[in-house]
Amino acid sequence: MTEAPPFEEIRSSNLGVRVATSEAEIVAAQALRYRVFYEEMGARADAATTKSRLDADAYDAVADHLLVVDHDRGEGPESVVGTYRLIRRTAAQRIGRFYSEDEYDIAPILAYQHGILELGRSCTDVAYRTRGTLQLLWRGIAAYVFNHKIGLMFGCASLPGTDLEANAAQLSYLAQHHQAPTELCPRAIETRYLPMDRLPAGSFDAKKALMSLPPLIKGYLRLGGYVGDGAVLDHQFNTTDVAIVVMTQQITDKYYKHYERKSGWDGQDRSG
């Protein structure tokens, strides 16, 4: 990597969050992703992935890799305990598309005239799945969003498994309460489109469905996030995917406000 990091490392006790600055750190993030997605969650690996024990694809070369590092484990790649893959519009243009386009028509997002950011490949080591680690990741995303003047974030988020009936209440809740407005709504590509609104309103416990959503999806919803139209089954990763859209002006936690106060930016300049 030749660019300077977009922000200085943010510390919380022995943990820190920053963007990877070396190939070795990116490989460490890919190794963590392999352990979580393939060994723990049951994703199906091809021969090359099994041999390398890395979750890697062409998008990694153009992405920025947000890392949570534990300084008690060292100061090198061995310290990586959490990661998030971040792809800006200019990065996607280098490869010709965003990752999400494998599952969704994101034309409404591409038409957005200001900074956009695709979020993906989020995971943490099993020993670090705490609220503090997740909050640290969000602090890093807030700093990244602020420094790159991102107006809209999007990506695919996952429910475990590919059993639509098992996920029917969660999918129906999302469709009935958090559907994106038309001008921002991605739609699952026709060959993979599966209706999300599977149960009539009132026929299931909406609060229970909300509480049973994966923490990452609940985090997006707390930021005012929306879901797209249609779910997609990802048999390789053993997940049911939904599209997520978050307008960054709705990131109102104290960390983001801190960055606004430091520089005086009011969050409305979405150029670049």
Give yes or no for a contact between 13 and 68, defined as CB atoms under 8 angstroms apart: no
- Residue 131 is predicted with a pLDDT of 86
Give yes or no for a contact between 244 and 155, defined as CB atoms under 8 angstroms apart: yes
Rounded Cα gap, residues 237 and 156, in angstroms: 12
Rounded Cα gap, residues 254 and 225, in angstroms: 18
Rounded Cα gap, residues 39 and 58, in angstroms: 21
Q: Over pLDDT 70: what percentage of the chain?
A: 90
- Show me where the domains of the chain are located: 10-263
Helical segments of the chain, H only: 23-34, 47-52, 89-95, 107-110, 131-147, 168-177, 206-211, 215-222, 254-263
**Structure-model confidence comparison of residues 257 and 222, the more confident one:** 222
Rounded Cα gap, residues 253 and 259, in angstroms: 11
Burial of 208 (0-12, 13-18, 19+ CB in 10 A): exposed
Question: What does residue 231 show for φ and ψ, rounded to 5 degrees?
Answer: -100, 160
Residue 47 pLDDT > 50, yes or no?
Answer: yes
Q: What is the pTM of this model?
A: 0.88
Residue 28 pLDDT > 90, yes or no?
Answer: yes
Per-residue pLDDT reduced to its tens digit, 201-255: 999 999 999 999 998 899 899 889 999 999 999 999 999 999 999 998 766 454 4
Rounded Cα gap, residues 131 and 204, in angstroms: 28
Residue 265 pLDDT > 50, yes or no?
Answer: no
- Residue 7 is predicted with a pLDDT of 85
- Residue 4 is predicted with a pLDDT of 64
What CA–CA distances, in Å, run from 196 to 37, 55, 127, 219?
24, 28, 33, 20
Average pLDDT on 19-45 reads 95
Residue 262 pLDDT > 60, yes or no?
Answer: no
Give the confidence band of 59 by pLDDT, cuts at 50, 70, 90: very high
- Residue 250 is predicted with a pLDDT of 65
Average pLDDT on 147-168 reads 94
Average pLDDT, the chain: 89
Nearest to 59 by CA among 41, 25, 86: 86
Average pLDDT on 32-47 reads 93
Helical segments of 35-67, H only: 47-52
Question: Which residues sit opposite 217 in a β-bridge?
Answer: none
Average pLDDT on 55-62 reads 96
Rounded Cα gap, residues 143 and 187, in angstroms: 29
CATH superfamily of 10-263: Gcn5-related N-acetyltransferase (GNAT) (3.40.630.30)
Give yes or no for a contact between 31 and 123, defined as CB atoms under 8 angstroms apart: no
Residue 55 pLDDT > 50, yes or no?
Answer: yes
Per-residue pLDDT reduced to its tens digit, 97-144: 999 999 999 999 999 999 999 999 999 999 999 888 988 998 999 899
Residue 261 pLDDT > 80, yes or no?
Answer: no
**Helices 215-222 and 131-147, packing angle to 10 deg:** 50
Residue 272 pLDDT > 60, yes or no?
Answer: no
Long-range contacts from 42-51, C-beta under 8 angstroms, 24+ separation: 42/238, 43/236, 43/237, 43/238, 44/235, 44/236, 44/237, 44/238
